[in-house]
Amino acid sequence: MRHLRPGRGTLATGAALFSFVIGVAATAPHSAARPAPSHFSGAVSVFGRNPTAAAGVRAFIGATECGSGAIKGTYALNALAAQDKAGCGADGAVVKFAVGDYWANETAPWSAGAFQDLDLSAPRLQSLALTPGCNEDIKSTFANKTTIADLVQMVQPPENLQAIWKRAGKEWQSYFPDGQDGDNTLKTIDRGEPITICVGDSAALSLPIPAPAPAGSATPAAR
């Protein structure tokens, strides 16, 4: 019986085919690397006091929410990389934080896999000039159920404050610095409500810069 032996041409073709397969495998695209999140944790305060657990902390890069965490005395969260969520982290990107409805004053750079100990204080404020007399239709940027005490401390200098008014349906609710319980019917204000602030001389109102409302509209009330 005659046995065929591979010739040089056959061996060369096989070697070329093997080299081609290896080359294709070597140049085949690999799945994109997914950097680890940037981790943040620390203490939280709202108006200088501990917020309720319902407030929560959220991390943003630009307008994109990239992570969130509960408040359990302190907070902890992971801010995702752009490979996990479009618009999120890349090394050096600025991370800003929302505590409930309020922006925190602090920001931090995003860094893949890094642990960052960062205490947060809220709200971040902007100043509104108040002219002598009653300043009407000031839109509240305070979270729902903010106490009148927290609003009052935002008016400076305090000795120029004469009254705060809010219309509730057909009735007016009022607050007077020297008023009694029967005079001071205004107890809380909500986000978006118009208020009137009367001052005896020039003053300023510090208003929170509102963050996007969280799911469920959690209110960062202080306790």
pLDDT tens for 212-223 read 876 655 444 443
Specify the pLDDT at position 223. Answer: 38
Specify the pLDDT at position 184. Answer: 97
pLDDT confidence bin for 32, thresholds 50/70/90: low
Alpha helices in the chain (DSSP H): 8-27, 148-152
pTM of the full structure: 0.77
Residue in 142, 154, 152, 133 with CA at minimum distance from that of residue 193: 142
Specify the pLDDT at position 55. Answer: 87
Percent pLDDT > 90 in the chain is 75
My answer on whether omega of the bond before 123 falls inside 30° of 0, hence cis, is yes
Residue 191's φ and ψ, nearest 5 degrees, are -65, 135
Domains in the chain (CATH in brackets) are 38-122 (2.60.40), 125-208 (no CATH)
| H or E stretch covering 97 | strand 94-99
pLDDT confidence bin for 54, thresholds 50/70/90: confident
User: Assign residue 14 a region: left if phi > 0, alpha if psi is -120 to 50, beta otherwise?
Assistant: alpha
Q: Which residues of 125-145 are buried (b: 16+ CB within 10 A; e: fewer)?
A: beebebeeeebeebebbbbbe
Query: What letter represents residue 205's amino acid?
Result: L
Alpha helices in 67-222 (DSSP H): 148-152
Say if residue 98's pLDDT is above 90.
Answer: yes
Say if residue 31's pLDDT is above 80.
Answer: no
